[in-house]
A and B are shown apart, each in its own frame.
Chain A
Amino acid sequence: MTSALNVLYLNTVRELKTYIRYKAGLMSILMPVLILIIMIILIPILDTDVFFSASGTENIFSFVAAGLAFSSFYELAVNASTRLYSDMVYGTVEYIFSQPVSRYWYLVSYCISNVVAGVVPFCVLLSLSAFQSEISAAQNILPLIVTSVLLVGIIIQFSVIFSCLVLIFKVGVGWLFGASTIIQVIAGAYIPVKVFPMWLQYIAYGLPFTYAYDLIHYSLLNTKTIFPVYTEWVVLFVWCIVLSVVAFVSLQKTEDYVKKQGLHYI
């Protein structure tokens, strides 16, 4: 059996090489930067008073840049399942599934490679956000790292779950790109959740990303959090564990299902 790390390493490097060799693929990574530019254009029309009362900061640029830095990772998780879809259509996934290769780490590697590929725009956006904020980076680096790790963990599990959907339904998940953008908005990546009507806020509280963005904004801009900071960390941690279990079980069930129905794209 190929070790899980080996599968992860080989497929991640393979995906990254593909990005480098196929320049058009890089566009998907640069998308968040384009969204930021659009948001910068929109900032003047936002009501800063409302924004301040909801978040505790007037620094809309940093707020949006920080949310965008992390939401770009989520987009890449969706992108990972899209890339898996094309490999399924071409029969590569079927071949891999006939091999002694860990399915879980194979699927995770699609997401990891996309996350690694997304590090550059992430760093650019986060640096912009940190540069514009007035908070000392040193005092907030630990909460930022903890939140980032938990968020990336959650994103990876979502990527596995999306990949399972691809394998079961044998259809692309392009529609998830649109849905994910809406989810990021509701979760408060770009606008504070407290600005939304109550019913939308309740939806937001059911999303793990809401707490992640809240904590990220708190770490970078010292914003007001929805719930106490430690409560939000616990919620994020629980989400991470629950999604890991769901992803693992989904994969088991998916493999069982595709072994009954066939994996080949029809």
Chain B
Amino acid sequence: MRDTIVTTTTVGKTYVSRGTQIHALNNVNLTVDKGEIFGFLGPNGAGKTTLTKILVTLLKKSTGGAFVSQYDVDKDAHHIRKIVGYQGQDTERSGYLRFTARENLELFGRLRGIPKKEATERIEELQTIGNFDFLDKYFVALSIGQRQTTIVMRAFLDEKAEIVFLDEPTRGLDPITALQLRTFIQTYVQEEGGTIVLVSHDMYEVESLCDHIALFNKGRIINQGTPTDIKKVLPSFYKITVTLPSPDKSLIEELELLPYVRDLTDSRRLEIIIENVHHVPDILQIMKKYSVEEYIEIRKPTLEDAFIQIVGGDNHD
């Protein structure tokens, strides 16, 4: 039997902005199981952050029901706040500038009701997981990546938190810091259990970290399941990418003549979509003819392809 921690049924959120009624969420149904990393994926303005804020009791939903650990987000907000860790979007400045990262974490931990000794020990634990070495610097002196890391650590301060919501935790970070933070999140889940809801645009991040994904667009969930499930909805295709040393019009014209080439970009970086792997040798032969076979790369569809296919198609309706 599934042990769910988040349930939403037909959740809707409408608000008025500058005289216009905005439907930020529409009929959202989802369940998050205990112990998993669940991804909210979707373009800007799709409703991911709005749903997150409803679940952490920062926003009131307009319709439907939402429960975290069986507590109603409207009636039991107080209980939910005790069992939820939260890192919001654009909050890398939300520490106190004249305090060190460690002092910030201690303060926020104690404001949450964690005794000082426990908060100090917890920070040490988290520091070990992430191998962070900047905690004794003033927040004002930290890089954006270090600030963001501190803010993500803050969401994990309470050992009693049953679920942690992370809204774009690696946004704007350099690849090394982002990787460090992802490793931290993964290690945390492996070592301490717990549930994470991860809001992200980053397909690689979601695909590599999440057990389940809900794909949002225009305030609705348009698909949900495991990353593999979501990719299955795509018609089978292969993407062949060729980065040419220089544009070659005759090569493109020859490729365009092939009936099974579904899509082709006309630039120095060619992207050729074919539906059947058996057609790959034909393509290779053409590439050899033009002596560009060494620049070829063939791959199966990724989550990003699925995302563009599903959301892109929907946005062009």
Check if B90 sits within 8 Å of A91, measured CB to CB: yes
Given A14, A21, A98, which contacts B107 in the complex, CB threshold below 8 Å?
A14
Taking beta carbons and an 8 Å cutoff, which residues of B are in contact with A?
A: 15, 53, 56-60, 78, 81-82, 84, 86, 88-91, 93-99, 107-108, 110-113, 154
Which residue on A lies nearest to B24, using beta carbons?
A262
Binary contact readout A154-178 vs B (1 if CB under 8 angstroms, 0 otherwise): 0000000000000000000000000
Check if B88 sits within 8 Å of A98, measured CB to CB: yes
- SS class, residues of chain B in contact with chain A: loop
Known: A259-B58, A262-B53. A101 touches B93 (CB 8 A): no
13 A-B Cβ contacts within 8 A?
A: A1-B113, A2-B111, A6-B113, A22-B97, A90-B94, A91-B88, A95-B86, A95-B88, A97-B58, A98-B81, A100-B113, A259-B58, A262-B59
Task: Give the docked Cα–Cα distance between A100 and B86 (Å).
Answer: 12
* Shortest distance between the CB of A29 and any CB in chain B (Å): 16
* CB under 8 Å from chain B, chain A span 42-61: none
Check if B58 sits within 8 Å of A98, measured CB to CB: yes
Taking beta carbons and an 8 Å cutoff, which residues of A are in contact with B?
A: 1-2, 6-7, 10-11, 14, 17-18, 21-22, 90-92, 94-101, 256, 259-264
Check if A95 sits within 8 Å of B113, measured CB to CB: no
Measured between beta carbons, the chain A residues less than 8 angstroms from B107 are 10, 14
A-B pairs, top 10 by smallest CB distance, nearest first, are A91-B94, A91-B91, A21-B98, A2-B113, A100-B81, A90-B93, A259-B60, A92-B94, A98-B86, A98-B56
Which residue on A lies nearest to B13, using beta carbons?
A260
Which residue on B lies nearest to A13, using beta carbons?
B107
Measured between beta carbons, the chain B residues less than 8 angstroms from A101 are 111-112
Check if A18 sits within 8 Å of B96, measured CB to CB: yes
Most buried by B among A11, A17, A101, A262: A262
Task: Give the docked Cα–Cα distance between A263 and B88 (Å).
Answer: 11
* Shortest distance between the CB of A113 and any CB in chain B (Å): 13
Check if A94 sits within 8 Å of B78, measured CB to CB: no
Task: Give the docked Cα–Cα distance between A96 and B154 (Å).
Answer: 11
Task: Give the docked Cα–Cα distance between A2 and B277 (Å).
Answer: 61
Measured between beta carbons, the chain B residues less than 8 angstroms from A95 are 86, 88, 91, 94, 108, 154
Measured between beta carbons, the chain B residues less than 8 angstroms from A261 are 15
Task: Give the docked Cα–Cα distance between A21 and B59 (Å).
Answer: 35
Which residue on A lies nearest to B54, using beta carbons?
A259
* Shortest distance between the CB of A258 and any CB in chain B (Å): 8
Task: Give the docked Cα–Cα distance between A260 and B21 (Å).
Answer: 13
Measured between beta carbons, the chain A residues less than 8 angstroms from B90 are 91, 264
